[in-house]
Amino acid sequence: MKKNKENPENLVSLFADRNEGLRILREIEQAEAVLAASSEALPSGQALKAIKQKVRAALARRQRRRMYARLWVGAAACAVIAALIGLLYFDGRNEKSNRTPIAANGKIDSVIWSEDDPQTAALMQEIETITDEMEAGGLQWGQTDGAHSRLSSAVDEMELVATNLDFWKG
Amino acid sequence: MPDNEDLRRLIEACKAGEAAAYDRLVDLYGARCYGYFFRLSGCRTTSDDLLGDLFVKLVEKLGTFSGEHFDKWIFTVASNLFRDYLRSRYRRQKVLEEKAVQLAQLQTGDDGENPMLDKLQEKLGRLDAETAEIIMLRFYGQLSFREMSEIRGEPIGTTLSKLHRGLKKLREMMES
């Protein structure tokens, strides 16, 4: 049996006097010699071979796990980079689209509401004319039109005829 | 056993995933670790299984070995593995049954399928499990008292005292 580098005498002297310590050590050595003289317990060659195969399989599994881990990390890194590029690209586009409408809105507003614009003036004039004509025809905003009046008159007339002629009596 | 430098190189090769280095490690430590498992379990099949589990565990855990005392490290892993094995109630029961069968075979002089059973195995079976483990850690692990006390998480004086008492009792039984 390989002896380790520990100095047992020094160690035992911490717990017992010198003679007692030496006796303890002697008893330990004697018992260890009895153990060493006993039959060895050795694994069979077949068992060792099987264990080496198990170890090789475990190594292959570990290698596969590491490869998948590397692939996964690579894919994750690509996804992050793609996301960052996308973010930067769309952010840039948003900045542009935010700037352009402001300028355009200003232009449109000024074109529509400019009183000097001849097309707008003509349109406004036409709207006013139609409004006047409708008011002159007795049609007010929020009222029904003439068709309803005509229908009420016809109903009244039929009731009058029915009353006067008593045709329902036979 | 290789010297420290050779062992360091071998472990580095194992960490790099070289199968041949693991084969060499199995050759170097297989017998001692097997002896440790066999003397504690008393069962060849269990010891084969535990030895296989130990080296598969080494593949996973060797990266955590910091490079100080490999013997202490590997026997710490072996010790934990055996304790895990014992923790299973079913297995504990199985070990006890196997030991009872082996003792009965020894008493009748019939070793059956266990030619490795001997007087030492019988006497070890009569010690309590903790004492037997300390003795086997010392014998097969070739560990110092300090290393053993560190593995067991107890004061060095306690380990020394338990080992002394256990070995003395074992010797008396062997010589009786």
Each residue's pLDDT tens digit, A75-127: 999 999 999 988 888 877 776 666 655 555 555 555 555 556 777 788 888 88
Residue B69: partners with Cβ closer than 8 Å, 6 or more residues away: B147
- Nearest chain A alpha carbon to B39: A41
* pLDDT score of B115: 46
Q: Do A31 and B60 lie within an 8 Å CB cutoff?
A: no
pLDDT confidence of residue B112:
47
Q: Which of B7, B20, B161 is nearest to B73 (CA)?
A: B7
Instruction: Answer whether A35 sits within 8 Å of B35, measured CB to CB.
Output: no
**Long-range interactions of A70-77: CB distance < 8 A, separation 24+:** none
Average pLDDT across chain A, whole number = 77
Contact A55 B170 (CB under 8 A): no
Q: Counting beta carbons within 10 angstroms of the beta carbon of residue B63, is it exposed (0 to 12), middle (13 to 18) or buried (19 or more)?
A: exposed
What is the C-alpha radius of gyration for chain A, rounded to an integer number of angstroms? 54
pLDDT in tens, chain B (176 residues): 677 888 999 999 999 989 999 999 999 999 999 999 999 988 889 999 999 999 999 999 898 888 778 999 999 999 999 989 888 766 667 777 777 777 776 666 554 444 445 788 888 888 988 899 999 999 999 888 889 999 889 999 899 999 999 999 998 888 87
Q: In 10 A of CB B55, how many CB atoms?
A: 24
- Residue type, position A77, single letter: A
What pLDDT is attached to residue A133? Answer: 82
Share of chain A above pLDDT 70, in %: 69
**Closest alpha carbon to B56 in B48, B66, B45, B67:** B48
Nearest Cα residue to A13 out of A26, A29, A24: A24
* Percent of chain A whose pLDDT exceeds 90: 15
Residues of chain B contacting A20 with CB distance shorter than 8 Å: none
CB atoms within 10 A of CB B23: 19
Q: What pLDDT shows up at residue B116?
A: 44
A49 inside 8 A of chain B by CB: no
Question: Under an 8 A CB cutoff, do B56 and A28 touch?
Answer: no
pTM: 0.64
Phi first, then psi: give them for residue B154, nearest 5 degrees: -135, 165
Among B152, B176, B164, B175, which Cα is nearest to B72's? B152
